[in-house]
Chains A and B, each alone.
Chain A
Amino acid sequence: TQLLEQSPQFLSIQEGENLTVYCNSSSVFSSLQWYRQEPGEGPVLLVTVVTGGEVKKLKRLTFQFGDARKDSSLHITAAQTGDTGLYLCAGEYDSWGKLQFGAGTQVVVTP
């Protein structure tokens, strides 16, 4: 069982549609990060959210950190084929520096 639960595991949508990916935990995090991973590559950071209730926007991507700092969501508006990838949330708790990841959500955007 992973500390960070992501849902859904897999999402297939058409270009132009919207999607939301969730990251939940029973633990409080000092910060949460979202990464995207392409096949054959390591994950790359999209955003870090630090303050409870924080909302950050990165072009068509909107990230929200829950008020209690236990959960986060990623919303993509008008998805494009270039948004295809594995989306991973990550956070550290328990011990300083112990960065742990969720299982990821595989997003496939078709033309």
Chain B
Amino acid sequence: NAGVTQTPKFQVLKTGQSMTLQCAQDMNHNSMYWYRQDPGMGLRLIYYSASEGTTDKGEVPNGYNVSRLNKREFSLRLESAAPSQTSVYFCASRPGADTEAFFGQGTRLTVV
């Protein structure tokens, strides 16, 4: 079972460049999430999609946009990358409220 698949696994960007992080799940889950993880900060919620067709801001949405393309796919876009966006990004999905979240392997992004 693939579970949650994130691409790419590693990326280096120059300041000002744009890129899209891709996430797909094959578990027919309703909810999908994007988090960033920095040292000592745990996981911070960037955006989430509680169900197909809806997206909402999390704790740290500035500088990011998302698209829930369909039930399987939830992408995260950085329009103009900044060094402060250097982080490890995790995508997650789960069936619904109060259920287990399943995570991808993460994308390690460095902005220079």
Contacts and interface: CB of A to CB of B under 8 A. Distances in A.
Contacts of B74: none
B62 to A, nearest CB: 17
Interface size bucket, B side?
Answer: 20 to 34
Contacts of A102: 42
Interface stretch (A58-66, A71-79, A88-96): A88-96
Interface residues of A, number: 28
Given A45-B101, A48-B98, A99-B101, A9 B40 contact: yes
Interface in B17-63: 31, 33, 35, 40-45, 48, 50-51, 56, 58-59
* Interface residue SS majority, chain A: loop
Contacts of B100: 33, 45, 48
B40 A31 contact: no
A101 B43 contact: yes
Contacts, number: 79
Interface string A40-54: 111111001010000
Contacts of A101: 35, 42-45
A103 interface: yes
Given A44-B103, A101-B35, 14 more contacts: A31-B98, A33-B101, A35-B101, A42-B90, A48-B100, A88-B42, A90-B43, A90-B101, A98-B45, A99-B31, A99-B33, A101-B45, A103-B40, A103-B41
A42 B42 contact: no
Contact of B59 (A30, A41, A97, A100): A100
Contacts of A103: 40-42
Contact of B58 (A40, A90, A98): A98
Contacts of A42: 4, 90, 92, 102-106
- Name the residue in A40, A95, A99, A103 with the highest tally of chain B Cβ atoms < 10 Å from its Cβ: A99
A2 interface: yes
Contacts of A98: 45, 48, 50, 56, 58
Contacts of A6: 42
